[in-house]
Homo-oligomer: A and B are copies of this chain.
Amino acid sequence: MATHATTSPKHAEVRTAEQVTELKHQWIEYQRRNALKTTAQRELIVDVFLNGGTSDSHVSIDDLLASVRRRNPKVGYATVYRTVKHLLDAGLAASRQFGDGQTRYEVAGSELRHHDHLICQKCRLILEFEEPEIERLQDSVASRLGGFKVMQHKLELYGLCPKEQGVVGGSCPSEDLRQVESGRR
């Protein structure tokens, strides 16, 4: 019953080298299965995405493109969109919409642990947490709904981080993990 939710103490992308290697294997397999050609642009995009070339763990297409262009300025929007679609299809990326008008993508993969999100409604800080209990709950609901087969879930908690509650000495769990600086819409 020890439900232990955790925020990872380290910044942004926390993926071990082994995990990245495994993710790349999955990508290569996907490429093979779908007879995709290996192009410099696509490889770069996938690489940047999986390695979290951005300090941000929930990248928008813009974020991703910006990172990619730092290494190859000629890559176009369309290519990023098309590649991300492949990554989603391959199960290596998952999309999220936290209500700020932008679709964000994060790395997903069979060996990465599933997590959910907590979003500060004021400062737009995005925190991740794990809650094993929820899988149980998910199944219990599914079974009640007559044969529905649940494949995945998304749980988002919205609220206020200590800082935004006006707590003077409040210790924001991750002082500098702020994801969306000020919103861009």
- The residues of B that contact A133 with a CB separation of less than 8 Å are 137, 140
Cβ of A17 under 8 Å from chain B: no
The contact size tier of chain A is: 35 or more
Contact, CB under 8 Å: A162 / B148:
yes
- The residues of B that contact A121 with a CB separation of less than 8 Å are 151
Interfacial residues of chain A within 72-123, with CB under 8 A of chain B in the complex? 95, 97, 99, 118, 120-121
Q: Which of A120, A129, A159 has the most CB of B within 10 A?
A: A159
With A95-B99, A145-B127, A147-B167 already in contact, the answer to whether A155 and B155 are too (CB < 8 A) is: yes
Q: Which of A5, A155, A171 has the most CB of B within 10 A?
A: A155
Cβ of A141 under 8 Å from chain B: yes
Partner of A137, one of B3, B150, B156, B158: B3
Cβ of A142 under 8 Å from chain B: yes
Contact, CB under 8 Å: B157 / A141:
yes
Contact, CB under 8 Å: A155 / B158:
no
- The residues of B that contact A147 with a CB separation of less than 8 Å are 161-162, 165, 167, 170-171, 173
Contact, CB under 8 Å: B97 / A141:
no
A109 to B167, CA, bound (A): 28
Please name 20 further chain A to chain B contacts, defined as beta carbons within 8 Å, in addition to the given A5-B140, A118-B142, A154-B158, sorted by A numbering. Answer: A3-B140, A3-B141, A4-B144, A5-B141, A97-B99, A118-B141, A121-B151, A131-B137, A131-B141, A146-B171, A147-B167, A148-B161, A148-B173, A149-B159, A149-B165, A150-B158, A150-B159, A152-B158, A152-B159, A154-B155
Question: Which A residues lie at the B interface, using CB under 8 A?
Answer: 3-7, 95, 97, 99, 118, 120-121, 127, 129, 131, 133-134, 137-138, 140-142, 144-162, 165, 167, 170-173
